[in-house]
Amino acid sequence: MIPAPFEYHAPKTLEEALRLVERHGDEAKLLAGGHSLLPLMKLRLAAPRYVIDIGRVRGMSYIREENGRIAIGALTTHAEIAGSSLLLSKCPLLPETAAEIGDLQVRNRGTLGGSLAHADPAADYPAAILALDAEIVAASTGGTRTIPAEEFFVDMLTTQLRPGEILSQVRVPALAPRTGTAYAKLHQPASGFAIVGVAARITVNQGEIEDVAVGITGLGPKAYRARAVEKALRGKKLATKLLADAARCAAQGVEPLSDLHASADYRREMAAVFTRRALGRALVRAQGKKA
């Protein structure tokens, strides 16, 4: 399939890219890894008049410590995140999640910024970004603003990004003491996208769950924090059925999607199963054991 004709721009700097998106507004689309945009253009579900390829913009691909957080440039690929020794030691949830995305080719081209900006309801990162309480930096010609992860996802394929903004950076915290994280995913067998994906972060203290965060993707039109699960666990003494009972609230307040891959009932059931698995692995890691 051949995309509709478009004018191609390949800016070398973020400033140049920002001026182009400001000038062309709704008629322009940014191109990063191209693994979501190009299929849409080839199917003519997207027909932008201007394609602004940010793939050659300098200084947008990095993973580094900044002011006690880990800052990741928007053009950092899934493969770079999966293999980052800094993230593996200080924020292992993100590499664990990145390693679950698509196949090798997708991980070598697809970018963190592209995945978050696209906001596919079955994408993996949103669950982890929510569980980590990450911050997303949006740049425009007027400067930058920081958006908390929980406010970033608005609806299916819709985020808080405004026209003229480019997602430039994501900031995640380093793992706190006595904390474990895990990502558990039910793959759609053909594409690898998540039918359900659950990211969990648990902090334990003297036999109690001191803090917990659960992000769920794939179930509804946008990824969300499973507040009912968190409420059922926070401050509770560890006990045999605690995690399984809490995991049953995974779909509370969400209308699950139903499509050719999975019915709403199946997704709801799998949300509980994979929440239980993610919590279990995160807890074992928080206790300093291998999972």
Ligand X SMILES: Cc1cc2nc3c(=O)[nH]c(=O)nc-3n(C[C@H](O)[C@H](O)[C@H](O)COP(=O)(O)OP(=O)(O)OC[C@H]3O[C@@H](n4cnc5c(N)ncnc54)[C@H](O)[C@@H]3O)c2cc1C
Question: Which of 228, 172, 174, 175 minimizes the C-alpha distance to 202?
Answer: 175
Nearer to ligand X, 124 or 230 (CB): 124
Position 36 contacts ligand X (CB under 6 A):
yes
Position 171 contacts ligand X (CB under 6 A):
no
Residue found by looking up tokens 């709801």 in the block: 268
Q: Can you tell me which of 31, 79, 199, 254 binds ligand X, judged by CB under 6 A?
A: 31
Nearer to ligand X, 106 or 175 (CB): 106
Position 106 contacts ligand X (CB under 6 A):
yes
Q: Can you tell me which of 24, 57, 82, 124 binds ligand X, judged by CB under 6 A?
A: 124
CA distance 66 to 61: 15
Size of residue set near ligand X by CB under 6 A: 30
213 touches 200 (CB < 8 A): yes
Position 30 contacts ligand X (CB under 6 A):
yes
Nearer to ligand X, 53 or 210 (CB): 53
Position 179 contacts ligand X (CB under 6 A):
no
Query: Which residues here bind ligand X, judged by CB under 6 A?
Result: 29-37, 39, 74, 101-102, 106, 110-111, 113-115, 117-118, 120, 123-124, 161, 166-167, 191-193
